[in-house]
Structure 1
Amino acid sequence: MKGFKLFLLSSSMLMASAQGFATNDIAGTWRSIDDKTGFSKGIVEITKASDGTYSGKIVEVIPRPGYTPKATCDKCSGSLKNKPILGMTVLTGMKQSSKNDREFSGGRILDPLTGKTYKTKMKLNSSGSRLSMRGYVGVEVVGRSQTWIRQD
């Protein structure tokens, strides 16, 4: 009986620690997947500021078959024109929803290949391992979606 109680206790502890990995926080390192090709585009590191907003910068650009990544954002405008894509902040102003702690909105995302900036919404899956990101202009219906996979 003692062995069975020890088994139950250790099983409960393992389940509790596994649930601890499921998080409602999007801070971390994410692999972006191109919605058109299905290939990885890069690694984005998302951080949370003291005001509760999230931002993300490109920490790795991933070459893919038939495509050599650009080193600079030649189609960007303003202060980002011809700046290195590696290290560039592409996600700004994301905030966690007060209604659903797995949803994030209010941010903007830059596509360094086109130089265009889009409004964005994100939704984290229940395990905290996948992030569905929707970039759009004006209304959400007019946009594109990507899946980002947690790397840490």
Structure 2
Amino acid sequence: MKYLYLLLMLTFCSITHGQSIIGQWETYDDETQAKKALIEIYEKNNLFFAKIVKSYSSEKDAVCENCKGTKKGKPINGLVIIENIKKDGDEFNSGTILDPENGKIYKCYLELVDNYKLKVRGYLGLSLFGRTQYWIRKE
């Protein structure tokens, strides 16, 4: 019986503490709740990044017209929109997020609500002034 209890505890701990933001996530329009994009979050050099794998709301060959610098005119599909996120306890922060619709870059933090829901917050200055979205893990 002790071994069964230990096995259950180890399984529970690995499930709750082993959750990762890495993977593919679907985003939805804030107003219509229509599926907007498929995003892939990946890790590189202990930092997290996200790119648009597929945009459902723009044309296949759409480019980021409003972006600045090296991202101006780049295809939406494949565009890196989250950069340099650091893991900090249960949050992932200190990075930036790009809104390809207006080309603006905001501070960003991510928080895994559960293994299937990711809180994404983009903000200016203090985190009080911004927008929160919830992304759903693609199965």
TM-score relative to the length of structure 1: 0.77
Number of the residue aligned with 1:53: 47
Structure 1 consecutive aligned stretches of length 4 or more whose deviation exceeds 6 Å = none
Give the match's secondary structure for 2:70. Answer: helix
Greater C-alpha radius of gyration: 1
**Aligned residue number for residue 38 of structure 1:** 33
Please say if residues 44 and 57 of structure 1, whose CA atoms lie closer than 8 Å, have aligned partners that are also in contact. Answer: yes
Equivalent position of 2:109 in the other structure: 121
- Counterparts of 2:26 and 2:91, CA distance in 1: 19
- For these two proteins, the number of residue pairs brought into alignment is 132
2:80 pairs with 1:89 = yes
Higher strand share: 2
User: Residue 114 of structure 1: SS of its match in structure 2?
Assistant: coil
For structure 1, which runs of at least 5 residues remain unmatched after alignment? 64-68
CA distance in 1, matches of 2:109, 2:56: 24
Q: What TM-score comes out, normalization by structure 2 length?
A: 0.83
Alpha-carbon distance between aligned partners in 1 of 2:39 and 2:23, rounded to the nearest angstrom = 8
Residues 35, 19 of structure 1: alpha-carbon distance in 2 compared, 3 angstrom cutoff: farther
